């Protein structure tokens, strides 16, 4: 390999040569390797020679000297696992060499960050070989000031890619670091719908300034798409798909596809003179048809369309349910506006899933990445929820206080409070997550009378079954713990039964009600149910105990 000479100094040149020669077949698994080792001539030939023997491809490598040490960063396409490769390289270089290896991704990003920390400038030699997510992950693991320096030196291409992935806070940071023209250039490297995703996250004023600097065509397209909120069909649809008239021919369609400058390249849209959607034609249809054939002859009516206002989650459900890869978006009059692809759906699902996880844990969805969020941001996003629960729990406390004298006389009562409350809470969240799930999968509909009645009865039955079981066990347990206080144990058991049924019904119906009110079912689930339950527990349990135990004793 002619490109394996020299020591670290000549690397910047070196890596280009090798990258160009990169070729191979079979597995593709890119690793990041960070090497700290005493510099010496022929160091690279050793390493590249080794990689060659291991059947690994060197995508790129660069480095710099720290005193008489060389710090090398390799991106390798390797048949070996990271740890194997690490060991083999350490064997080769001897024990003074420190080697770290990780797959490209969040882990690899840490090594990239470590490498860039001292020589940010080298990012320009690196960015060509990194996908935006890896680049962004590396940046987010660097100190703020280094990161800001890097934003400025990145190519418009890389910067655009990063902005598309960045959360609002990071975007603000980027906007503050980079001058408007470069920002505009970066955004101009994106598809219209992507550009709009970015613009929508930027403050009004900045957005207008950037729009003014965008290329004419992109600006017009962006302004059109900006009308739709991001969480609607219009907000996620792409307009980068070939559109032709019913009267056009297969020939013309193929010519358009040949350009390959559209996002969607396997389907074309056919519209009439007024732009009303007539149908879709797939590329294999075109290949089969005669060049002079009119498109209206081939156009297949889609199985469904949506209007731009439809919620993106609904769109995702629809496309998943009917296994639709290309869903046209049309206005009320049926004019074609754009198309939602299954790629968009995948993104939506990932985001919505993350949102649900947050909601079920009692959080509003964070508007910035965890790594970027300041401690005070987290504090602000979490406290309101906790205070709400707090307020509700203070009611519980008040109720129990009302029974102070009862507790004074039967202190053991207190011992069962957590048991009963947690059981109620968990039964409730079980029920609600079961229903949230069934709703999400479209197994049941919040609009179907049949389903609502069905859920109610089924949960009533299940809860009674579970409740009696828990009551039975609880009774035995209470008898033991209270040293055979029958009435006390009875009130524990009855509370368990009542609370289980109550919690289950509340937990199961809340999500359905939420859906009917157009709210997110996940939002009302979890902690919410728990607190409602706790209050009823306090009332039922203390009430029962007072009557049964005191009246008895």
- CA max distance for the chain: 98
Binding to its own copies, residues 348-387 (CB under 8 A)? 349-350, 352-354, 356-358, 360-363, 366, 369-371, 375-376, 378-379, 382-383, 385-387
Site for its own copies in 486-525 (CB under 8 A): 522, 525
Cα–Cα separations (whole angstroms), residue 497 to 256, 460, 470, 478, 537: 69, 12, 7, 14, 11
Query: In the structure encoding, which two tokens stand for residue 217, read together?
Result: 């065509």
Give 330's strand partners: 336
Rule CB under 8 A: say whether 266 interacts with its own copies.
yes
303 binds its own copies per the rule CB under 8 A: yes
Q: Are 64 and 55 in contact (CB under 8 A)?
A: no
Could you say whether residue 551 binds its own copies (CB under 8 A)? no
- What is the nearest approach in angstroms of its own copies to the Cβ of residue 158? 14
Nearer to its own copies, 8 or 400 (CB): 400
Q: Which stretch binds its own copies (CB under 8 A): 12-20, 66-74, 424-432, 544-552?
A: 424-432
The three-class DSSP label of residue 468 is helix
Q: What is the DSSP string of 51-102?
A: HHHTT-EEEEEEEEEETTEEEEEEEEE-SS-HHHHHHHHHHHH-TT-EEEEE
Interaction of residue 531 with its own copies, rule CB under 8 A: yes
SS3 (DSSP) at 249: strand
User: Contact between 541 and its own copies (CB under 8 A)?
Assistant: no
Give min distance, CB of 169 to its own copies, in A: 13
Q: Which stretch binds its own copies (CB under 8 A): 36-44, 46-54, 203-211, 269-277?
A: 269-277
Site membership for its own copies, residue 192 (CB under 8 A): no
**Cα–Cα distance between 247 and 271 in angstroms, integer?**
9
Window 468-487: contact mask with its own copies (x via CB under 8 A): -xx--xx--x---x------
| In the complex, least distance from residue 263 CB atom to its own copies, rounded to whole angstroms | 11
325 binds its own copies (CB under 8 A): yes
Residue from 2, 217, 284, 518 touching its own copies (CB under 8 A): that is 284
Q: Kindly state whether residue 20 participates in binding its own copies, applying the rule CB under 8 A.
A: no
177 or 464: whose CB is closer to its own copies?
A: 464
Nearest residue (CB) to its own copies, 8 versus 142? 142
**Which of 36, 90, 191, 307 contacts its own copies by CB under 8 A?**
307
CB of 234 to its own copies, least distance (A): 14
Is residue 375 within 8 Å of residue 540, measured between CB atoms? no
With the CA atoms of 491, 497, 502 and 505 taken in that order, what torsion angle do they form, in degrees rounded to the nearest 10? Answer: 180
Q: Is 338 in the site for its own copies (CB under 8 A)?
A: no
Nearer to its own copies, 10 or 448 (CB): 448
When binding is defined by CB under 8 A, the residue of 1, 50, 153, 389 that contacts its own copies is 389
Site for its own copies in 215-244 (CB under 8 A): none
Sheet bearing 57-66, strands edge to edge: 57-66, 69-77, 30-38, 98-103
Binder among 95, 404, 518, 551 for its own copies (CB under 8 A): 404
Contacts of 298 by beta carbon, 8 Å cutoff, 6+ apart: 250, 270, 281, 285, 286, 289
Contact positions with its own copies (CB under 8 A) in 61-90:
79
How far is 117 from 112, CA to CA, in rounded Å?
A: 8
- CB of residue 144 to its own copies, shortest distance in Å: 14
**Subset of 28-47 contacting its own copies (CB under 8 A):** 28-30
> Which tokens is 325 given?
């890869």
Residue 536 to residue 542: CA distance in whole angstroms? 10
Please report how close the Cβ of residue 46 comes to its own copies at its closest, in angstroms. Answer: 26
Indicate which single residue of 66, 83, 179, 322 sits in contact with its own copies (rule: CB under 8 A): 322
CB of 379 to its own copies, least distance (A): 5
Q: DSSP readout, 351-397?
A: HHHHHHHHHHTT-PPPSS-TTT--HHHHHHHHHHHHHHHHHHHHHHH
Binding footprint of its own copies, residue count (CB under 8 A): 155
Contact between 43 and 68 (Cβ < 8 Å): no
User: Which phi and psi (to 5°) does residue 30 adopt?
Assistant: -85, 130
Cα–Cα distance for residue pair 518/515, rounded to 1 Å: 5
The Cα-based distances of 218 to 197, 203, 212, 327, 337 in angstroms read 13, 19, 11, 23, 16
25 binds its own copies (CB under 8 A): yes
Q: Which is nearer to its own copies, 44 or 495 (CB)?
A: 495
Contact flag: residue 300 with its own copies (CB under 8 A): no
* Residue of 71, 86, 88, 141 interacting with its own copies (CB under 8 A): 141
Least distance from its own copies to the Cβ atom of residue 270, Å? 9
Which of residues 309, 334, 456, 520 is near its own copies by CB under 8 A?
334
Give the Å distances, CA to CA, from 119 to 63, 141, 161: 9, 15, 22
Residue 16: phi and psi, rounded to 5, are: -60, -50
Nearer to its own copies, 11 or 120 (CB): 120
Q: Is residue 6 at the binding interface for its own copies, with CB under 8 A as the rule?
A: no
Q: Which of 76, 97, 139, 413 binds its own copies (CB under 8 A)?
A: 413
Residue 26, helix vs strand vs coil: coil
| Residues found in the chain | 553
By the rule CB under 8 A, 417 interacts with its own copies: yes
* Residue numbers 435-474 binding its own copies by CB under 8 A: 435-438, 440-445, 447-451, 454-455, 458, 461-462, 465-466, 469-470, 473-474
According to CB under 8 A, which one of 122, 269, 434, 487 is a site residue for its own copies?
A: 434
Report the Cα 420 to chain-centroid distance in Å.
Answer: 36
437 phi, psi to nearest 5 deg = -65, -50
């Amino acid at each position: 390999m002619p490109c394996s000479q020299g020591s670290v100094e000549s690397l910047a040149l070196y890596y280009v040569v090798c990258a160009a020669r990169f070729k191979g077949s079979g597995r593709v698994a890119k690793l990041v390797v960070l090497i700290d080792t005493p510099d010496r001539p022929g160091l690279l030939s050793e390493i590249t020679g080794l990689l060659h023997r291991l059947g690994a491809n060197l995508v790129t490598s660069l480095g710099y000297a720290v005193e008489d040490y060389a710090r090398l960063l390799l991106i390798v396409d390797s048949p070996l696992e990271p740890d194997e490769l690490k060991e083999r390289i350490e064997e080769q270089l001897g024990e003074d060499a420190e080697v770290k290896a990780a797959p490209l991704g969040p882990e690899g990003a840490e090594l990239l960050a470590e490498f860039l920390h001292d020589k940010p400038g080298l990012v320009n030699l690196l960015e060509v070989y990194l996908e935006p997510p890896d680049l962004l992950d590396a940046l987010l693991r660097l100190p703020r000031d280094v990161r800001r320096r890097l934003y400025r030196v990145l190519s418009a291409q890389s910067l655009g890619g990063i902005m598309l992935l960045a959360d609002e806070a990071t975007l603000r940071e980027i906007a503050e670091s980079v001058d408007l023209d470069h920002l505009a250039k970066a955004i101009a490297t994106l598809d219209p719908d992507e550009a709009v995703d970015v613009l929508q996250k930027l403050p009004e004023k900045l957005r207008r300034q950037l729009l003014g600097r965008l290329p004419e065509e992109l600006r017009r397209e962006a302004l059109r798409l900006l009308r739709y909120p991001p969480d609607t069909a219009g907000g996620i649809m792409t307009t980068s798909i070939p559109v032709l008239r019913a009267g056009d021919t297969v020939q013309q369609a193929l010519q358009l596809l040949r350009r390959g400058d559209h996002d969607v390249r396997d389907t074309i849209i056919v519209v009439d003179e007024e732009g009303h959607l007539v149908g879709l034609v797939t590329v294999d249809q075109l290949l089969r048809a005669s060049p002079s054939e009119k498109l209206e002859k081939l156009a297949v009516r889609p199985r469904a369309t949506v209007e731009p206002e439809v919620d993106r989650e609904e769109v995702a459900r629809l496309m998943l349910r009917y296994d639709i890869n290309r869903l046209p978006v049309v206005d009320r009059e049926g004019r074609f506006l754009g198309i939602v692809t299954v790629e968009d759906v995948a993104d939506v699902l990932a985001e919505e899933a993350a949102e649900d996880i947050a909601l079920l844990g009692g959080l509003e969805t964070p508007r910035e990445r965890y790594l970027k969020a300041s401690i005070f941001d987290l504090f602000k996003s979490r406290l309101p929820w906790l205070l709400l629960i707090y307020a509700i729990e203070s009611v519980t406390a008040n109720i129990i206080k009302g029974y102070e004298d009862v507790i004074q006389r039967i202190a053991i009562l207190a011992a069962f409070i957590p048991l009963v409350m947690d059981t109620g809470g968990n039964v409730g969240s079980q029920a609600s997550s079961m229903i949230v799930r069934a709703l999400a999968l479209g197994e049941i509909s919040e609009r179907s009378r049949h389903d609502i009645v069905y859920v109610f009865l089924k949960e009533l039955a299940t809860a009674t079954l579970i409740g009696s079981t828990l009551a039975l066990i609880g009774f035995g347990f209470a008898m033991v713990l209270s040293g055979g206080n029958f009435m006390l144990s009875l009130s524990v058991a009855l509370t368990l039964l009542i609370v289980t049924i109550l919690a289950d019904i509340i937990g199961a119906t809340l999500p359905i009600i939420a859906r009917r009110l157009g709210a997110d079912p996940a939002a009302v689930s979890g902690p919410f149910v728990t607190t409602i339950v706790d209050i009823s527990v306090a009332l039922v349990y203390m009430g029962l105990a007072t009557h049964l135990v005191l009246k008895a004793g």
